[in-house]
Amino acid sequence: MALNRFTRTVFVAFLVALLIIGSAMQFSGELELRVTPVDDDGPLLVLPLKPGEPFTLHYYHSVENAPIWEVHTLDATGRIFIEEERYLKFGAGMGKMPGVGRMVNRGPFEAIVDMHMPTGDFVLRIGSPGVDHTVIWRGTRTNLSAMAPHRAVQFSGRPVSWAHALWRRIAAHPATPD
């Protein structure tokens, strides 16, 4: 009788532990940015991110052939924000938007900083080699123009579960740069 009660107690404790662990594994602790062709061939790029961690989109303006950097972050829900734009000079389509950020000089570059403007998921038509749409993240550079020129890709962020983030630390997604 005592053994049977002990067995039931252990079994119930085991089930409660599984429930707690399973619930904890569903909580988001990290984010994932995916860059996926709109025609959905699978992601070109998958970046694990912490909320507020930056990634940069760098390219050469098609009219001015001047370098541009756009710094983005994701919030805890996976929503994408643009934080800063930096460029060599005012070019076609460039310049400050009233009420968004502030202008500063960074060496030879002008920059709009402190933007924190939500973009949400967005679609970008990748330029030709020479435009060199490149994602810079944690010291890596991924040239999207070399991978998928002239294709429309969607940048989308999403929270991932604790278990998913742990798994990706063990086995990175094939589209995650080294």
In the predicted structure, residue 103 carries a pLDDT above the cut 90: no
Pair of tokens at residue 165? 């983030």
- Tell which wins on pLDDT, 16 or 168: 168
In the chain, what percentage of residues exceed pLDDT 70? 81
DSSP tag of 164: H
Decide which of 132 and 7 is more confident.
Answer: 132
Is residue 5 predicted with pLDDT exceeding 80?
no
Cα separation, 49 vs 131, in Å, equals: 26
Helix (H) / strand (E) element for 24: namely helix 2-26
Helix (H) or strand (E) holding 4: helix 2-26
Axis-axis angle for helices 162-170, 2-26 (nearest 10): 80
pLDDT higher than threshold 60 for residue 21: no
pLDDT at 29: 66
pTM, two decimal places:
0.80
Place of tokens 């000079």: 89
Q: What is the pLDDT of residues 78-93, one digit of tens each?
A: 999 999 999 886 555 5
Two structure tokens written together for 144: 């999207």
Looking at residue 71, its pLDDT comes to 97
Mean pLDDT of 56-75: 90
Using a 10 angstrom Cβ sphere, with 0-12 exposed, 13-18 middle and 19 or more buried, the burial of residue 75 is middle
**Average pLDDT score over residue span 20-42:** 75
pLDDT tens digit sequence for 116-132: 999 999 999 999 999 99
Model confidence band, residue 97 (pLDDT cutoffs 50, 70, 90): low
